[in-house]
Chains A and B, each alone.
Chain A
Amino acid sequence: MSLLSVKDLKTYFHVYMGTVKSVDGVSFDLERGKTLGIVGESGSGKTVSCLSLLKLIPMPPGEIVGGQAMMDGEDLLTLSEKEMRKVRGRKISMIFQEPMTALNPLYTVGDQIAETIRLHQKVNKREAFEKAVEMLDAVSIPAPKARAMSYPHQLSGGMKQRAMIALAMSCHPQILIADEPSTALDVTVQAQILLLIDEFKKKYGTSVILVTHNMGVITSSADDVMVMYVGKMVEKGNVYEIFNNPKHPYTQGLMDCILKSTGGKQILKTMPGFIPNPINKPQGCAFHPRCPHRKSICMNEEPPVVDFNEHKTACWLYA
Chain B
Amino acid sequence: MNRNEAATNQDIPTAEGTGTMLPPEILKIIDIKKHFQLKGGFLSRSKGILKAVDGVSLQIRKGDIFGLAGESGCGKTTLGYVAGGILPQTEGTIHFEGQPIDDRSGKLTVRDVQFIFQDISGALNPKWMIKDIIAEPLAIIGETAQVRREKTERFMKEVGLTLEYLDAYPHELSGGQRQRVSIARAMVTNPKLIVCDEPFSALDVSVQAQIISLLIKLKRQFDLTYLIISHDLALLQYICNVLAVMYLGEIVEEAVPAEKLFTNPLHPYSQGLLGSFLFADPNKQRIDAIEILAGEVPNPILPPQGCRFHPRCKHCRDICRKEKPVMREIDPGHRVACHFVQHDGS
A219 is contacted by which of B210, B273, B282 (Cβ under 8 Å)?
Answer: B282
Tell me the nearest residue of chain A to B213, going by C-beta. Answer: A270
Tell me whether A220 is interfacial, beta carbon within 8 Å: yes
A187 touches B233 (CB 8 A): yes
- With A221-B287, A270-B210 known as contacts, the answer to whether A187 contacts B296 (CB < 8 A) is no
Interface size on B, residues (CB 8 A): 42
A187 touches B273 (CB 8 A): yes
Q: Which residues of B contact A253 (CB under 8 A)?
A: 206
Most buried by A among B71, B72, B175, B281: B281
Which chain B residues (224-273) contact chain A, with CB distance < 8 Å?
231, 233-235, 237-238, 263, 272-273
Assembled-state Cα–Cα distance A256/B208 (Å): 12
Which chain A residues (29-48) contact chain B, with CB distance < 8 Å?
41-42
Main secondary structure, interface of B, reads: loop
- Taking the nearest CB of chain A, how far is it from the CB of B24, in angstroms? 26
A220 touches B285 (CB 8 A): yes
Interface string of B292-313 (1 = CB under 8 A from A): 1111110000000000000000
- Taking the nearest CB of chain B, how far is it from the CB of A36, in angstroms? 14
Tell me the nearest residue of chain A to B70, going by C-beta. Answer: A186
- With A188-B272, A195-B287 known as contacts, the answer to whether A260 contacts B204 (CB < 8 A) is no
- Taking the nearest CB of chain A, how far is it from the CB of B147, in angstroms? 31
B278 is contacted by which of A156, A216, A265, A266 (Cβ under 8 Å)?
Answer: A216
Most buried by B among A215, A240, A254, A261: A261
Assembled-state Cα–Cα distance A259/B205 (Å): 9
Tell me whether A194 is interfacial, beta carbon within 8 Å: yes
Assembled-state Cα–Cα distance A265/B234 (Å): 11
A258 touches B296 (CB 8 A): no
Tell me whether B87 is interfacial, beta carbon within 8 Å: no
- With A260-B280, A268-B212 known as contacts, the answer to whether A195 contacts B205 (CB < 8 A) is no
A216 touches B279 (CB 8 A): yes
Interface string of A246-287 (1 = CB under 8 A from B): 000000011011111101011011110011000000000000
A213 touches B294 (CB 8 A): no
Assembled-state Cα–Cα distance A189/B296 (Å): 7
B287 touches A191 (CB 8 A): yes
B238 touches A266 (CB 8 A): yes
Tell me whether A164 is interfacial, beta carbon within 8 Å: no
Interface string of A179-213 (1 = CB under 8 A from B): 00000001111111011001000000000000001
Tell me whether A101 is interfacial, beta carbon within 8 Å: no
Q: Which residues of A contact B174 (CB under 8 A)?
A: 274-275
B292 touches A191 (CB 8 A): yes
Tell me whether B22 is interfacial, beta carbon within 8 Å: no
Assembled-state Cα–Cα distance A11/B212 (Å): 34
B238 touches A188 (CB 8 A): no
Tell me whether A28 is interfacial, beta carbon within 8 Å: no
Q: Which residues of A contact B285 (CB under 8 A)?
A: 216, 219-220, 261
Tell me whether B20 is interfacial, beta carbon within 8 Å: no
- Taking the nearest CB of chain A, how far is it from the CB of B63, in angstroms? 17
Tell me whether A244 is interfacial, beta carbon within 8 Å: yes
23 A-B pairs with CB atoms under 8 Å apart are A186-B71, A187-B276, A187-B278, A188-B71, A188-B295, A189-B71, A190-B276, A191-B277, A191-B290, A191-B293, A195-B287, A195-B288, A198-B288, A216-B279, A219-B281, A221-B286, A221-B287, A259-B235, A259-B279, A261-B234, A269-B209, A275-B174, A275-B204
5 nearest A-B pairs in the assembled complex, by CB-CB distance: A216-B278, A257-B209, A261-B279, A215-B280, A259-B234
